[in-house]
Chain A
Amino acid sequence: MSFLPYAVAVWLFIVGLYGVVSSRHMVRTILSLAVVQSATYVLLLAIGYRSGGQAPIVADIPPTTTLVDPVVQVLVLTDVVIEATVTALLLALVVQAHKRFGSVDPNDLRPLRD
């Protein structure tokens, strides 16, 4: 089953994208975007895995143990921070859109005037 993690990443990406496309509520759109991003977590962590590898933290295991790749884990950490910031900004935009248009349906959005 060595392809399973990659399949999960593809599946999360497509399903999240479907959520973005089909949603009738902007908060749901943003949550779907988070699902799309979680595909990158799975992909990065899956790429860095080495068979039988331990977490790259040698506080209580001998440093000669086989370790998984720490570089991709740092990239995931960056990814998580970016996702949090993007989500916060988008949610703030939704709050303002709701005030202005009285709706959170993407179809009800109109161009800004005045």
Chain B
Amino acid sequence: MSRRARLWLFGVAGPGLAAVLVIGFRGLPAFGHYHGVYGLVVNGVELSMRHATDYVTALNFDLRAFDTLGEEYILFASVLGVTLLLRVMREEDEEFSAAGRGLDGSSDAVRLLALVLVPLLVALGVYIVLHGALTPGGGFQGGLVLAAAPAALILAGRYLELKILAPSWAMESAEGIGAAGYALLGLGGLIFASVYFRNFLPAGNPGQLLSAGFMPLNSIAVGLEVMGAFLIVWTAFLDQALLIRRRSLEAR
């Protein structure tokens, strides 16, 4: 469809859609006056029954742990899709000699800052993953911060060093172990508590690192998977930009 036809269609359909949305939204509870029972129940029981102080993580890794399993495998499948789409094609080669191309411009100050950032990001990421059940954070957020640590090397204009600090086999195993570990933790619930993804570890003291049952373990598994997944995706795209070249005609 041409751009003009699309715009014309949108001009007709857009206002109609807006009207339907506005009518639909009029049926929602007024802002600030929500009375969902589920949320109230969660707010009432998470501290007393699971000794978790971050109710969002408690929902994610305990009450809705099974939904999080689905979410994990959506991430897993899409990483699979990205690596399949961005593989080295038949008429392409990887040129490692060209890896620094386009990244030479970073100054010494930026490089130093990137090197300082790496350990700080690792520490912050580990903290956020482990304290998921206590303070804001959890596996998804912490895993992303952990993935940002090797990625900071790109700021330093050192792409091949990123591949040394975070080699693809390590990232792939981190993703696989995280995804498998999360499913196995659910199996632990089946074995020790007779329900898939039911908590099977003691609740501990609220506010302590080892508390909230199996939530910290779930958080670590998800953190590993998210870290691996995002590094795989980023390197897949950067490989396309920096390493993979169309094979020249005489070499074909």
Contacts and interface: CB of A to CB of B under 8 A. Distances in A.
B134 interface: yes
B82 A57 contact: no
Nearest to B41: A71
A85 B86 CA distance: 15
Contacts of A47: 28-29, 34
A2 B38 contact: no
Nearest to A52: B32
Nearest to A92: B85
A112 interface: no
Contacts of B236: 92
Interface residues of B, number: 57
A82 B68 CA distance: 12
B10 interface: yes
Given A59-B53, A73-B56, A49 B31 contact: yes
Given A74-B64, A78-B67, A81-B71, A92 B82 contact: yes
A4 to B, nearest CB: 7
Contacts of B54: 56-57, 59
Contacts of B136: 55, 57
Contacts of B17: 14, 17
Interface in A46-63: 46-51, 53, 55-59, 63
B3 interface: yes
Contact of A22 (B3, B38, B47, B140): B3
Nearest to A23: B3
Interface stretch (B73-81, B97-105, B107-115): B73-81
A44 B3 CA distance: 32
B151 to A, nearest CB: 14
A77 B56 contact: yes
Interface in A78-104: 78, 80-82, 84-86, 88-89, 91-93, 95-96, 99
Interface of B: 2-3, 6-7, 9-10, 14, 17-18, 21-22, 25, 28-34, 36, 38-40, 42-43, 47, 53-56, 58-60, 64, 67-68, 71, 74-75, 78-79, 81-82, 85-86, 89, 134-136, 140, 207, 230, 233, 236-237, 240, 246
13 contacts: A13-B21, A18-B10, A21-B9, A22-B6, A47-B29, A57-B54, A59-B207, A70-B59, A71-B42, A74-B60, A82-B71, A85-B79, A92-B81
Given A73-B56, A77-B60, 14 more contacts: A5-B31, A6-B25, A6-B31, A9-B25, A14-B21, A22-B3, A49-B32, A50-B33, A57-B136, A69-B40, A70-B55, A71-B38, A85-B75, A107-B2
